[in-house]
Amino acid sequence: MDAIKWNGDSVTLLDQRLLPLKEVYNTYTNYSDIAAAITNMETRGAPAIGIAAGMGIALAAQGIGTGDIVKFRDEMSRIFGIFAATRPTAVNLFWTIDRMKKITHELTDVKQLKETLKKEAVRIHEEDIAANRQMGKNGSRFLNDGDIVMTHCNAGALATGGYGTALGVIRAAVEEGKKIEVFACETRPYLQGARLTTWELYRDNIPVTLITDNMSGHFMKTGVIKKIIVGADRIARNGDTANKIGTYTHSVLAKEHGIPFLVAAPMSTLDPDTATGNDIVIEQRSTDEVAFVQNVQIAPEGIKILNPSFDVTPAANISAIITEKGIIEKPEGRGIMGLF
Ligand code: MRU
């Protein structure tokens, strides 16, 4: 299963809105369709958003008719703006855009620029897969044979170039022969845990049990959950971590019960330019995602609803941040700069 695939002159995306009931792949040649696919959650997860944007930008560049570098750069600025406006929280998107911008500013030959942007998009994808594998190797020592490990949202192959961040660490532990069982929180309102995490783990024969988000405290208190591992959308300089709404609640409960709370993320998710979690922009999504469950309305018409898509877990609640470059244990007071 390739959730994102570069075909040279088009991009194929697995439509994650339809999982687990339908496995549909859509192929796009137009960059604006790829930008829309990021906004509408056809593809999602911080690293996957960055990868899809890179491919979309590379495709857009191919379609620019002018050989004049000034006009080409003007058109590219407009395209960078379109991708930057898709989703605000995952920093991987802006990290990709910065990489593509750098190339656009450095090279002056339009033909060469177009080729280099294509190569960069492929490189961003390949680097992400390699980072996930290395993260898995670095982080698997935190998981013991027999552990039940809870995760929230989907930080797996679907959310990345492949293999996954949090689920990558779990996959690595399983590949080392450890018996691991995963508790997947359903992740209201968009149900990434129920729909996506269970789907990909089940396909890989990794034992997975679905629980609702409000069951996590019960299973921590009763000693069932031994570790928690999640992904991240943006990690601020001081280690505060934005991830899917509900992550913060689990982290508070983990602290109360002395359960290790691990964050796995590639270096592309670490954001040295953002000082603390208070500076992270939290995406507010449509209230229909809360008012409806799979197209069935569950709340009265016209009531007030809030739908922040992410929350921030303070560094103080995190036991370790696992990256491909190394691990920061107890990031509180230490932050992330030791990895740069
Ligand atoms: O809204 P989503 O589905 O894009 O949110 C995804 C998450 O919050 C993931 O946990 C995060 O991006 C890490 S994915 C490796």
Report pLDDT digits (tens) over 186-199. Answer: 999 999 999 999 99
How far is it, in rounded angstroms, from Cα 279 to Cα 269? 15
How far is it, in rounded angstroms, from Cα 1 to Cα 23? 10
- Reply yes or no on whether the pLDDT at 207 is more than 90: yes
- Going by their DSSP bridges, the two strands 208-211 and 270-271 should be labelled as unpaired
- Reply yes or no on whether the pLDDT at 338 is more than 90: yes
Residue ending a domain, among 133, 162, 184, is 133
Give me the number of domains the chain comprises: 2
**CATH classification at residue 126:** 1.20.120.420
Residue ending a domain, among 133, 168, 184, is 133
Listed in sequence order, the DSSP H helices in 140-284 are: 166-175, 192, 198-203, 216-221, 247-257
271 CA distance to ligand 1 middle (Å): 16
- Ligand 1 atom 8 nearest Cα: 244
Query: How sure is the predictor about 278, in pLDDT bands with cuts at 50, 70 and 90?
Result: very high
- Ligand 1 atom 2 nearest Cα: 45
pLDDT tens column, 30-57:
999 999 999 999 999 999 999 999 999 9
Q: Is 184:195 a contact under the CB 8 Å cutoff? A: no
265 CA distance to ligand 1 middle (Å): 11
Q: Is 317:132 a contact under the CB 8 Å cutoff? A: no
101 with 40, same domain: the answer is yes
- Reply yes or no on whether the pLDDT at 229 is more than 90: yes
Residue numbers annotated as active site: 233
86 CA distance to ligand 1 middle (Å): 14
How far is it, in rounded angstroms, from Cα 128 to Cα 168? 12
Listed in sequence order, the DSSP H helices in 151-308 are: 166-175, 192, 198-203, 216-221, 247-257, 288-291
Using the atom order of ligand 1, give the atom closest to the CA of residue 244. 8
What is the Cα Rg of the chain in Å? 20
| Average pLDDT value for residue range 95-108 | 98
124 with 24, same domain: the answer is yes
- pTM equals 0.98
Nearest to 331 by CA among 321, 269, 313, 252: 321
| Average pLDDT value for residue range 296-304 | 97
199 with 284, same domain: the answer is yes
| Average pLDDT value for residue range 112-128 | 98
192 with 172, same domain: the answer is yes
309 with 270, same domain: the answer is yes
Give the mean pLDDT of the chain. 98
199 with 335, same domain: the answer is yes
By CB atoms closer than 10 A (0-12, 13-18, 19+), residue 289 is middle
- Ligand 1 atom 15 nearest Cα: 155
| Average pLDDT value for residue range 122-129 | 98
Q: Is 139:174 a contact under the CB 8 Å cutoff? A: no
- Reply yes or no on whether the pLDDT at 158 is more than 90: yes
Query: How sure is the predictor about 147, in pLDDT bands with cuts at 50, 70 and 90?
Result: very high
182 with 320, same domain: the answer is yes
SS3 (DSSP) at 308: strand
13 with 72, same domain: the answer is yes
Q: Is 32:57 a contact under the CB 8 Å cutoff? A: no
Residue ending a domain, among 133, 158, 177, is 133
314 with 187, same domain: the answer is yes
Amino acid at 181: E
Q: In which element (H, E) is residue 292 found?
A: strand 292-293
Q: Is 50:93 a contact under the CB 8 Å cutoff? A: yes
214 with 266, same domain: the answer is yes
How far is it, in rounded angstroms, from Cα 234 to Cα 95? 11
308 with 162, same domain: the answer is yes
So what's the pLDDT on residue 151?
99
- Ligand 1 atom 10 nearest Cα: 231
Cβ neighbours for 190, distance < 8 A, ≥ 6 positions apart: 41, 285, 289, 309
SS3 (DSSP) at 91: helix
| Average pLDDT value for residue range 240-244 | 98
Using the atom order of ligand 1, give the atom closest to the CA of residue 231. 13
So what's the pLDDT on residue 253?
98
60 with 93, same domain: the answer is yes
48 CA distance to ligand 1 middle (Å): 9
**CATH classification at residue 162:** 3.40.50.10470
Using the atom order of ligand 1, give the atom closest to the CA of residue 243. 8
Residue 228 is part of which domain span?
142-339
- Reply yes or no on whether the pLDDT at 1 is more than 90: no
> Which residues sit with their C-beta closer than 6 Å to ligand 1?
44-47, 90, 153, 155, 159-160, 165, 192, 231-233, 243-244, 309
More confident position, 119 or 1: 119
Sign of CA dihedral 54, 59, 64, 65: positive
| Average pLDDT value for residue range 145-158 | 98
- Reply yes or no on whether the pLDDT at 294 is more than 90: no
- Reply yes or no on whether the pLDDT at 120 is more than 90: yes
| Average pLDDT value for residue range 293-314 | 96
- Reply yes or no on whether the pLDDT at 306 is more than 90: yes
Token pair listed for 76: 């590219």
